[in-house]
Amino acid sequence: MSVGIMGYLTFGDLVSSQFTLNMPKELYASEIATWTTVREETSLIFLCYYTNLNLYMLNIRNFFILLCL
């Protein structure tokens, strides 16, 4: 929090709210950092859905196993 406040006091309104918007556009490393951020966010979303779906399917399987006993 204090780093954000110091950054705002130093640079004012020139600072964008997302860190990827503050990186220089002409550097290739900026593109890598931006796409890495996108990949990480989408991977997290898919991982959450996969985990919930896996638990749901496990409960359905256990229900049918108990039903057949």
Residue 26 is given by DSSP the state: T
Confidence (pLDDT) at 1:
67
Q: What is the pLDDT of residue 15?
A: 65
Report which of residues 8 and 20 the model is more confident about: 8
Residue ranges of alpha helices (H) inside the chain are 2-11, 28-68
Quick check: pTM over 0.85? no
Q: What integer pLDDT is reported at residue 9 of this predicted model?
A: 79
Q: Per residue in 12-38, pLDDT tens?
A: 776 666 666 666 777 777 778 778 888
**How many angstroms separate the CA atoms of 32 and 27, rounded?**
9
Mean pLDDT of 54-66: 77
